[in-house]
Amino acid sequence: MRDHGSLNTTLSVLALLVAVVAGHLTLAPRVADLDGFYHMAHAARYAETTPWDTGLPWASQSAIAEEGADIWWGFHVALVPLARWAVADDGAADGGEERAGPDRITWAMMWGAFILTLVLASSSYVFLRLAGVAGAGWWAALVLIAVPNVFYRYLMLRPHVLSLAAAMLLLSALSRARWGLAFLAAALIAWLHLSLFWLPLVVLGSWMAAVAVERWSVRDPRPWGALPWAAALAVGGGVVVGWLARPHPWAAGRLVYIQLFELLDEKASDLPITFAPELVPLTPALLVLMAGFVLFWWTVGVVWVGREVAAIRGGRVGGEGEPAFRSSSSGGRATLIALTFLSVGFLVLTMVVARRALVEWALFATLLLPLAAGMLLPPVQLRRWGVAFGVSLVVLLPWAARRHALNVRYVSFGPDYLREAATWLAAHSDTGDVVFHTHWDQFGPLLARNRINHYIGGMDPIFQMSRSRERYWEHFYLSRDLTTDYTCDAFPCASGVARDTHEVIRDTFNARWVLLEHARSPKLIAYLDQTPGFRRAFETEREVVFEVMGDADAPDAIIHGGG
């Protein structure tokens, strides 16, 4: 039996490793997300200078440049070793010669993303092992691949991957009364990505509520004051330390306020704000399409949890053939109830606030499944439900592989995205020349290969809007290809002032260059081609660079009155 158990453990760990490797091999040499370019570029900046210089002057129209702080500081510091290797012999960022194939920046991104996914997979395995789950490796592999769109996000070079790993560590530490470890996990989450300062607090709140429910179910007479408030001090203290352990913490706090609270305020308006799709709520139909497998079994598990809590409250505890939940430790029961609260809460966020909360829901919902099966089902029912689960899993695997292939084909980006244009601009620009680009997601790939130029903005568009609403709207009309010869400083246009495009780009944004993609800005490209104030300077199959000419060559201003 021991040999059989050892073999099963080995095979399950290999399956988990195969899932991680297969995910990245099927993606390479493409990258899952453009934000990784920004994160690696900022880390490269620290590698070349010092992590204490957090200024980002390259985002010329962003509140991030004004505040001079870095809300992802811990994540960027963690990337410095890879970034140092990436820039050691790759002069693209300073106008060096371009090489064929993935450059060092891209290789560093791919290796960094692989390490992050491996850390997440290992953390889920450790969490399940500590929770006493049999076959933890198999379940950890399922945690990765159960929702293909979420699996794709696990392959990104973004701090949320490490934050999720730390969140599991935090819940495990709380369940085992390891307050020091809980402090470190909470500090790590806030240090890596300050805008996720609330995640440790949500995990803490869910666990505290779970402890209260567990005590209520067994009619524990201890009052609320007897709850483990030391856990709250540990987690709260960790969040504060993670926030303060960075340069310019107050400025970083202001950026967090912009990214979270100003964003929510703007989303509540009827204005056509430019958001990433991940910030839009998920419809029920899309939820079923993306995560029907987990949604069904998670719903079954949540019903089981509620039923068993009620059963214990009603006095049905113990006995042969009864679920292990009724005779397990209070810590084990609290962990399962906490996973229930966490998954329900993140599902609500997914449906009401932003679909990117699907990542947290999928993680906690899938972790709930093996705990619920092992603790809530008597052996006879466990075998019966296991057959049904196995059949559904056989259906899931080929479907998940197909969905992942579609994500790689239609959602991922080539390793050379904007590379030719960025290196050409670096070679033909003076230091500090501003490049007017029309989409915020272009900032990372440009900055990664060219820190000679400055750009308009990057990261979330809310940082541009917070700095200047007028400049945001002038950029908005051109970025959406809504206007060409003029742009407006308000929405709707009649409520503000419309000005000549050449004047705005040259004088307001102080740009010397304009970078446009054929697929995203066809109308604006056609207009600039026929306007004397712009000269086509460089072109690739996918993008074109215009030089902004001076007054002598500029067209007569086209002024549109507003108001």
Q: Are 417 and 543 in contact (CB under 8 A)?
A: no
Residue 559 lies in a domain: no
- Give residue 561's pLDDT: 37
Residue 141 lies in a domain: yes
**DSSP string computed for 60-128:** TTSHHHHHT--TTHHHHHHHHHHHHHHHHT-GGGGT----SSS-HHHHHHHHHHHHHHHHHHHHHHHHH
AA letter at 165: A
Q: Cis before residue 492, ω within 30 degrees of 0?
A: yes
CA angle 8, 391, 346 (to 5 degrees): 85
- Give residue 70's pLDDT: 96
- Give residue 550's pLDDT: 78
Q: How far apart are CA 49 and CA 506, in angstroms?
A: 31
Residue 54 lies in a domain: yes
Ramachandran angles phi, psi of 218, nearest 5°: -100, 10
Same domain, 370 and 480: no
Same domain, 341 and 298: yes
Burial 314-339 (b: 16+ CB within 10 A, else e): eeeeeeeeebbbbebeeebbbbbbbb
Using alpha carbons, list the distances in angstroms from residue 480 to 57, 231, 413. 25, 49, 21
Residue 432 lies in a domain: yes
Q: How far apart are CA 228 and CA 217, in angstroms?
A: 17
Q: How far apart are CA 23 and CA 149, in angstroms?
A: 12
Query: H or E element: which one contains 243?
Result: helix 229-244
Same domain, 347 and 423: no
- Give residue 5's pLDDT: 67
Q: Are 185 and 170 in contact (CB under 8 A)?
A: yes
Q: How far apart are CA 3 and CA 339, in angstroms?
A: 32
Name which of 45, 301, 289, 14 is nearest 138 in CA terms: 14
**DSSP string computed for 405-433:** HHHHHHT-B-TTTTHHHHHHHHHHS-TTP
What does the radius of gyration of the chain's CA atoms come to, in whole angstroms? Answer: 26
Q: How far apart are CA 376 and CA 314, in angstroms?
A: 16
Q: How far apart are CA 191 and CA 78, in angstroms?
A: 11
pTM, to two decimals: 0.92
- Provide the edge-to-edge strand list for the sheet that holds 534-539: 434-437, 511-517, 543-548, 534-539
Q: How far apart are CA 117 and CA 126, in angstroms?
A: 14
Same domain, 401 and 427: no
Q: How far apart are CA 480 and CA 534, in angstroms?
A: 19
Q: Which long-range contacts (CB under 8 A, 24 or more apart) does 151-155 make?
A: 151/23, 151/400, 151/404, 152/32, 152/404, 152/407, 152/408, 152/411, 153/32, 153/33, 153/356, 153/359, 154/23, 154/116, 154/117, 154/120, 155/23, 155/24, 155/27, 155/32, 155/113, 155/117
Tokens 């400025």 label which residue? Answer: 251
- Give residue 307's pLDDT: 87
Domain containing 458: what range? 419-553
| Both structure tokens of 191 | 């240090």
Name which of 344, 317, 346 is nearest 330 in CA terms: 317
Residue 81 lies in a domain: yes
Same domain, 392 and 508: no
Same domain, 322 and 428: no
**DSSP string computed for 267-318:** HTSSS-----GGGSPPPHHHHHHHHHHHHHHHHHHHHHHHHHHHHHHTT---
Residue 560 lies in a domain: no
Same domain, 396 and 452: no
Q: Is the dihedral of CA 205, 280, 447, 65 positive or negative?
A: negative
Same domain, 12 and 116: yes
Q: Where are the alpha helices (DSSP H) in 97-226?
A: 104-130, 136-145, 148-154, 160-175, 179-192, 198-217
Same domain, 265 and 124: yes
Residue 161 lies in a domain: yes
Q: Are 437 and 544 in contact (CB under 8 A)?
A: no
Q: How far apart are CA 297 and CA 303, in angstroms?
A: 10
| Both structure tokens of 178 | 């390891």
Residue stretches of the chain with pLDDT short of 70: 1-5, 89-101, 223-226, 315-329, 551-563
AA letter at 196: L
Q: How far apart are CA 43 and CA 49, in angstroms?
A: 10
Q: How far apart are CA 158 and CA 150, in angstroms?
A: 13
Same domain, 113 and 261: yes
Ramachandran angles phi, psi of 34, nearest 5°: -80, -20
| Count of the separate structural domains present in the chain | 2
Name which of 171, 124, 105, 108 is nearest 20 in CA terms: 124
Residue 558 lies in a domain: no
Query: H or E element: which one contains 536?
Result: strand 534-539
Tokens 């430790």 label which residue? Answer: 329
Same domain, 318 and 439: no
| Both structure tokens of 522 | 């066809």
Burial 175-206 (b: 16+ CB within 10 A, else e): beebbebbbbbbbbbbbbbbbbbebbbbbbbb
Same domain, 182 and 42: yes
Ramachandran angles phi, psi of 547, nearest 5°: -95, 135
Name which of 309, 285, 305 is nearest 295 in CA terms: 285
State the burial class of residue 97 (Cβ atoms within 10 Å of its Cβ: 0-12, 13-18, 19+): exposed
Using alpha carbons, list the distances in angstroms from residue 296 to 299, 378, 430, 434, 487. 5, 20, 58, 51, 49
